[in-house]
Structure 1
Amino acid sequence: MNDSGAVLPWLVIRQDDNGNHYRVGRYATRDEAQQMADSLDADGHQQLYWVERIGQPAS
């Protein structure tokens, strides 16, 4: 939770060229997180972006 008490269970994750994973942001809905991942992916970067729910094992 953040200071406002909102729950943000969806993460956007980035994987760099060396296989390192970084949290890009947290979002309230899967759709919101997916839109951000898609927009980052469309910027032409070579990194991989995906959406995960907090507590969900990575696939």
Structure 2
Amino acid sequence: MNDGGSGLPWLVIRQDDNGARYRVGRYATQDEAQKIADSLDGRGHKQLYSVERIGQTTP
């Protein structure tokens, strides 16, 4: 995935059972990213999917 695309500031992040975090994809809008996260989350797996803006810090 190319990190140079400033036009795609929204990330979908997957967190597994061990707390490891992985970027699933980058999207132009928060709504688009949230739709992807919701569809992945609805598959019933134990992973957690979240949406973050690039540069946003997580606690």
Task: Give TM-score, length-normalised by structure 1.
Answer: 0.89
Unaligned runs of 5+ in 2: none
Q: Which of these two proteins has the greater Rg computed from alpha carbons? A: 1
Equivalent residue for 1:26? 26
Shift >2 Å, 4+ stretches: none
Task: Give TM-score, length-normalised by structure 2.
Answer: 0.89
Equivalent residue for 1:54? 54
Q: Alignment RMSD, CA only?
A: 1.0
SS in 2 for 1:22: strand
Q: Distance in 2 between matches of 1:34 and 1:58?
A: 17
Unaligned runs of 5+ in 1: none
Between the aligned residues of both structures, percent identity stands at: 73
Superimposed CA distance per residue, residues 9-43 of structure 1 (whole angstroms, 9 cap, x where no aligned partner)? 00000000110000000000000000000000001
